[in-house]
Structures are given as structure tokens and as C-alpha cells.
């Protein structure tokens, strides 16, 4: 796995107040940039992101939103980093998904009575995770500690980005970081697609909290388990139960909480 590299940061002069004194000091600040995506000449979306791993962000976004079905559909991907523009030429573009992006759609999850999906594309691309894989408790503790304490170099420098990784038997094999929580998962998905990794036998570990949007991203990617430093939301828990995803949260040095589908975690 590529180790956490300190990228996309700048020094900024700030004034610190401490022990009754004001002091000028330089602080490391995370960079942020807008990235506008044109798909076959049509402006599709503008996302705010860290200026690193943009290629994987775009790949993961287009596939997870159902605008293209697979990585091989992309024929050309050009990034103009100076102007914040991305041009993608692709075969078999799903016009319905492109036109329906961010279109509100209230519907139920997996045929249940609970309202689950708020956008049309989520309803079309989210899937139930039917995986009999089992994960070791020790591996969960190990991967969370590795991500938070060792790998996320930019976070430890600025405290201004989220970080996430794909985990196989306790080892972090694919890593990403970004100012945006959602961007983390698109970047990881893009890297998994490029490396042709299977996802139904691996976990994702994440530095933030699990909201419903994050849980839906995990479902689209096909991961059966997501681990978070913080707590999940109620809507995320409801979706996880219906979609077959194990949520693990509040991970500390020697403890964590299993909120859904605990049968996947063994000691």
C-alpha cells in the first residue's frame, strides 16, 4: 500500500493565543479546489476536493453514480488542474443516471417501509451485500490504529482532511485522503477498479462518522463492512440493516462497537 504522503498542504500565517499571550506562527493548512467534470462534452458536476488522486476520484464517482458501468467504458480522461476542469470521453454513458444526478427521489429501502434513498441514482445503483465473510476483532483494532496513528500523514500535519483505506486481513492495501468525506470513498473505489480488486471480502476503515450518504457509497462499492472512528447516524444504521452491511464504530485502542450484522465479527 502507498504510505500516507504529505501532499496538498500550504503554510499559512496565523495568530495563536496561549497562556495569555498572542504569538505569530506558521500553520499547515489543507488545500481545497473545485473540480468541474465534463462527460462527453456535457457539464456533469462540480466537486470540492483535495488536489491529489483526482483521476481516482472521477473514476469512482462516475461508476458509483451509475453514469458509466465499468472502468473500461472510459476512453479518455484529461485533467486540467490549473483551471480545475476534467474532460471524460466514454462509451455507453447512462443518460438516465447523468440526467438524474442529485434529483430528489423519496423511496423505501429494499422493499421495506423505511424511507431510505433521497436521490434517484442511489435507488438505481445501491445493492444488497450478501457476503458470508468473517473478520477478526484483532484485525479491526489493528487497521484502525494503523490508519489513525501511522498512515494519515497529512491529517497529523493539518487536522484538515479525512482519511480512509481498504483493509485485507488487517492490512491497509489501498489508501486515500481528502477534505471531503464522500471523496474518500470515490477515490478508494477508483483505485480498487483500476487494480481489479474484489471488494466483497474486505473492509473499509474511515476516520470520520458514518452518515447515510457514506453508507450508500459503501453499498455501491460492494464492501460488507465499514469501520469508523466516530459513531453512525440513525438513518445509516437503518440502511445498513437492510443492505447487509456491518457497521463498526467508536474504535479505540482496545474496544469498538458493532452496530449492525455482528455475526461477521469473530474473536
pLDDT tens digits, residue range 136-145? 999 999 998 8
Cβ distance 223 to 203 under 8 Å?
Answer: yes
pLDDT of residue 145: 87
Region 88-108 average pLDDT: 63
Please report which confidence band the pLDDT of residue 208 belongs to, taking 50, 70 and 90 as the band edges.
confident
Confidence of residue 160 (pLDDT cuts 50, 70, 90): confident
Residue 58 pLDDT > 70: yes
- Statement: 33-125 belongs to CATH 3.10.20.10: yes
Q: Where do you find CATH 3.40.140.10 in the chain?
A: 135-266
Collect all residues with Cβ–Cβ distance below 8 Å to 110 and sequence separation of at least 6.
Answer: 116, 128, 242, 243
Q: How far apart are CA 33 and CA 196, in angstroms?
A: 29
The band of 115, judged by pLDDT with boundaries at 50, 70 and 90, is: very low
Side-chain half-sphere exposure of 48, counting CA atoms within 13 A: 7
Q: At residue 45, does pLDDT exceed 60?
A: yes
Cα distance between residue 87 and residue 163, in whole Å: 26
Check if 110 is active-site.
yes
Name the residue among 66, 70, 73, 69 with its Cα closest to residue 122. Answer: 66
Sorting pLDDT into bands at 50, 70 and 90, what band is 190?
A: very high
pLDDT of residue 65: 87
How many other CB atoms are there within 10 angstroms of residue 13's CB atom?
8
**CATH 3.10.20.10 residue spans of the chain:** 33-125
The whole-number pLDDT of residue 107 equals 43
- CATH number for the region 135-266 comes to 3.40.140.10
pLDDT of 11 strictly over 70: yes
Q: What is the mean pLDDT of the chain?
A: 85
In percent, the amount of the chain with pLDDT more than 70 equals 82
Q: Which of 49, 109, 110, 192 is catalytic?
A: 110
Task: Say whether pLDDT at 104 is over 90.
Answer: no
What pLDDT, on a 0 to 100 scale, did the predictor assign at position 113?
Answer: 41
- Determine which helix (DSSP H) or strand (DSSP E) holds 243, and give its type and residue range: helix 234-243
For residue 73, pLDDT over 50 is answered with yes
Name the 3-class secondary structure at 32.
coil
Residue 121 CA from chain centroid, whole number: 17
| Continuous H helices in 16-117 | 54-64, 95-99
Amino acid at each position: 500500500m502507498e504510505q500516507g504522503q504529505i501532499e496538498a498542504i500550504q503554510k499559512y500565517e496565523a495568530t495563536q493565543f496561549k497562556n495569555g499571550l498572542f504569538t505569530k506562527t506558521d500553520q499547515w493548512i489543507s488545500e481545497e479546489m473545485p473540480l468541474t467534470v465534463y462527460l462527453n462534452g456535457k457539464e456533469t458536476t462540480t466537486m470540492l476536493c483535495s488536489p491529489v488522486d483526482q483521476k481516482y476520484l472521477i473514476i469512482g464517482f462516475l461508476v458509483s453514480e451509475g453514469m458509466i458501468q465499468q472502468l473500461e467504458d472510459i476512453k479518455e480522461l484529461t485533467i486540467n488542474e490549473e483551471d480545475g476542469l476534467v474532460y471524460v470521453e466514454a462509451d455507453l454513458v447512462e443518460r438516465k443516471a447523468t440526467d438524474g444526478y442529485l434529483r430528489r427521489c423519496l423511496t423505501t429501502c429494499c422493499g421495506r417501509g423505511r424511507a431510505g434513498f433521497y436521490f434517484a441514482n442511489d435507488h438505481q445503483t445501491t445493492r444488497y451485500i450478501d457476503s458470508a465473510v468473517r473478520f477478526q476483532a484483532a484485525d479491526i483494532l489493528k487497521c484502525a490504529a494503523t490508519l489513525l496513528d501511522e498512515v494519515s500523514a497529512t491529517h497529523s500535519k493539518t487536522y484538515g482532511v479525512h482519511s480512509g483505506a481498504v483493509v485485507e486481513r488487517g492490512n491497509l492495501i489501498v489508501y486515500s485522503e481528502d477534505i471531503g468525506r464522500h471523496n474518500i470513498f470515490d477515490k478508494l473505489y477508483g483505485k480498487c477498479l483500476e487494480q481489479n480488486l474484489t471488494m466483497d471480502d474486505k473492509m473499509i476503515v474511515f476516520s470520520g462518522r458514518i452518515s447515510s450518504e457514506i453508507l450508500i457509497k459503501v453499498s455501491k462499492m460492494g464492501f460488507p463492512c465499514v469501520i469508523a472512528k466516530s459513531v453512525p447516524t440513525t438513518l445509516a444504521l437503518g440502511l445498513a440493516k437492510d443492505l447487509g452491511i456491518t457497521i463498526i464504530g467508536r474504535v479505540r485502542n482496545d474496544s469498538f462497537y458493532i452496530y449492525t450484522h455482528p455475526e461477521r465479527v469473530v474473536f
